[in-house]
Amino acid sequence: MIVDRPSTLMTSDCCKCGFALADVIFVIDQSESISEDNFKKIKNFMKKLSGQMDHRGTTRIGSVSYNHFTFINFHLDAFTQANEILKAIDDIPYRRGSTNTAAGIKVAHDEMFIPSKGDRADAPDIMIVMTDGQSDDPVNTANQAKIAHNDNIRTVVIGIGEAVNITELQLISSNPAEDLFLAKNFDCSSRRYHRIYLYYHVPRSPDPTNEPVSVWRQSI
């Protein structure tokens, strides 16, 4: 299916900081190397980021997780209230397995960024891929990411830990200079959630830190 998508670099007259709409899908790794405790931290990360968004008709959120299989957790049109989204994230179970990142990206593109599941023609699409290691099939992962890029889905990558393959993460991200973030571990301070979404101009609550954004582009 070909969907006419607005550029994620577009500006909006009603929002000085950038676009006023966004459809965001989290693609989250559930591989065995993460562990259940760290998966809870990933969900907390998602909740913190989601908490910065304005869900009053501007930002929609969906989620798919993957190991050797894929699991659609909820679609873009599933929830409209912040508390519902946070509960849905809490309810995502940990199913350990391998690292089929390609399948996670493909499902997000083919089955979630579509009008029948809440994707809006006037809202930029952002896919946030969170992983702690190299995928099972790097070639297919790069191919699936390229398909998403070509369909104007901005793909942001958060690589966690020392086992990530930087070259692969660069290929997954739409623009490595802007869309690739690295974290040393699964523990991140609250101000870093603000940094990512301030940078992407997603409507959010006021940022209390007032610090430069550029310092968080490559390392969080």
Residue range of the domain that includes 51: 22-216
Tell me, yes or no, whether 155 lies in a domain.
Answer: yes
Tell me, yes or no, whether 172 lies in a domain.
Answer: yes
- Asked if pLDDT for residue 210 goes beyond 90, the answer is no
Tell me, yes or no, whether 161 lies in a domain.
Answer: yes
Tell me, yes or no, whether 15 lies in a domain.
Answer: no
Give me the mean pLDDT over the 119-148 stretch.
Answer: 94
- Residue 96's domain is classified under what CATH number? 3.40.50.410
Counted domains in the chain: 1
Tell me, yes or no, whether 96 lies in a domain.
Answer: yes
Give me the mean pLDDT over the 158-165 stretch.
Answer: 85
Contacts of 164 (CB under 8 A, 6+ apart): 131, 132, 133, 134, 182
Tell me, yes or no, whether 13 lies in a domain.
Answer: no
Model pLDDT, residue 192: 52
Give me the mean pLDDT over the 80-87 stretch.
Answer: 91
Residue 90 to residues 131, 159, 197: CA-CA distances in angstroms?
18, 21, 21
Tell me, yes or no, whether 40 lies in a domain.
Answer: yes
Tell me, yes or no, whether 9 lies in a domain.
Answer: no
